[in-house]
Structure 1
Amino acid sequence: MGFKYDEVEITWLGHAGFMISHRGNIYYIDPFKIKPKEKADAVLVTHEHFDHLSLEDLRKIVKPETYLVAPENCRDKLKLLGSGIIKLVKPGDRLEVKEAKIETIPAYNVNKFRAPGVVYHPKEEESVGYVIELDGV
């Protein structure tokens, strides 16, 4: 069990992963190393790194009608699933998926480096974070 407010329940799945349930719809964000869970109505992916876009984990929860919302840098990996409806986004986009109003925001590092002068998540990759609204919550 996670945090519940009104009809929205948010469960942390470990690492950067979350599951949100609302009125029978299931939304995942960055599922990674998850135990088999409920099938997804939508999966939101922040960027292409293996611990945020895990095909192994997506195969556990994606069905043909699942929306796969992700930035352009995830396109090729998501196509490998062969299932789901891909919706590509960039920072500043707004969309509705099922009953969720979703806004994408820029997500990048300025102080975490993989090598001197090279950040893990550069702004140019257009990775995203998500602001999700469900019934005003």
Structure 2
Amino acid sequence: MVKIKISEKRNPIPQQVSIGENITLTTWGTIKVNKSHFFPSSFQLKIDDKVIYIDPVGVENTEKADYILITHAHPDHFSFKDIKNLLNAETRIVCSKGVSKKLSDVKNQIQIVKPKEQLQFEKFSIQATFAYNTKSVFLWIKAHPKSKENVGYIITLKNGFSIYHAGDTDYINEIKELSDIDVALVPIGGDNLTMNTEEAAEIINKIKPEIVIPMHYEIKNHEELNRFETLINKKTRVIKLD
């Protein structure tokens, strides 16, 4: 069984960066997955007065959520404890069908999405994207098979500014079709779970966002993190968090 807890190596101060006009991104940093100290795919976005969480795990000192987006049901992305702490009566949860099965207690607040579907809200739209593995963990078994319909998300504001959270995915054909991305959050951990450093750099250099934030990697791999930065086109700003 996978055990998730707060890492003793976590930065005690939540890290917050501005990624656009009236848009801030916050991470609470490193979690411990079994024995590995791991920078997760968990973020808070504040867009004007709206609070959005993506894959909240190990979130501390929380503001209640207007929206919670979950990419898939693996425990480093899905924490019912964190979700309950963030909910109020008005919170909307956007997730795949697989995640929704674990949220029966709050099913009236759930919007199920499949890849390519788009939801329209007052201040922005949310598009679900494909997120799956082409590589196998063992024989034909994949950690994130396409049949599960796991997702990433593109959040697009009324002015066209867009933020892409890739979820757990390899460098797949559907990602090559993305365009007009301003901020990209991409996994670099590899190990048959996600795209690796080189693959992540390749897709970023293809879609050319203004900002990229690497995620989903063991924090001991600082050499890989630094190498990712060297591989990125100089027109894209790399923000490294821990």
Is the shorter-chain TM-score for this pair beyond 0.5, marking a shared fold?
A: yes
Contact preservation (8 Å) 1:104, 1:128: yes
Q: Which runs of 4+ in 1 moved over 3 A?
A: none
- Aligned residue runs from structure 1 range 110-125, under 5 A: 110-111=134-135, 113=137, 115-125=138-148
Q: Find the partner of 1:4 among 14, 19, 43.
A: 19
In 1, Cα distance between equivalents of 2:59 and 2:66: 16
The unaligned stretches of length 5 or more in structure 2 are 1-15, 30-39, 162-242
- Aligned residue runs from structure 1 range 79-90, under 5 A: 79-80=104-105, 82=106, 85-90=109-114
Contact preservation (8 Å) 1:63, 1:83: no
Matching residue of 1:92? 116
* Greater helix proportion: 2
Shift of 1:73: 0.7
- Aligned residue runs from structure 1 range 6-85, under 5 A: 6-14=21-29, 15-80=40-105, 82=106, 85=109
Shift of 1:63: 0.9
Shift of 1:13: 3.7
In 1, Cα distance between equivalents of 2:149 and 2:46: 27
Specify which structure has the bigger relative contact order, considering alpha-carbon pairs within 8 angstroms and separated by 6 or more residues. Answer: 1
* Greater strand proportion: 1
In 1, Cα distance between equivalents of 2:108 and 2:61: 18
The unaligned stretches of length 5 or more in structure 1 are none
Secondary structure (helix, strand or coil) at the match of 1:77 reads: coil
| TM-score, length of structure 2 as denominator length | 0.52
Q: What does the per-residue CA deviation read over 1:88-109, in whole Å, with 9 as the maximum and x for residues that have no partner? A: 0000101123422111111001
> How large is the RMSD of aligned CA atoms in angstroms?
1.6
Secondary structure (helix, strand or coil) at the match of 1:74 reads: helix
Q: What is the aligned residue count? A: 135
Secondary structure (helix, strand or coil) at the match of 2:155 reads: strand
Q: What does the per-residue CA deviation read over 1:70-124, in whole Å, with 9 as the maximum and x for residues that have no partner? A: 01111121223x37610000001011234221111110011251x3321100000
Q: Find the partner of 1:107 among 108, 117, 131.
A: 131
Matching residue of 2:34? none
Shift of 1:6: 0.7
| TM-score, length of structure 1 as denominator length | 0.90
In 2, Cα distance between equivalents of 1:83 and 1:47: 16
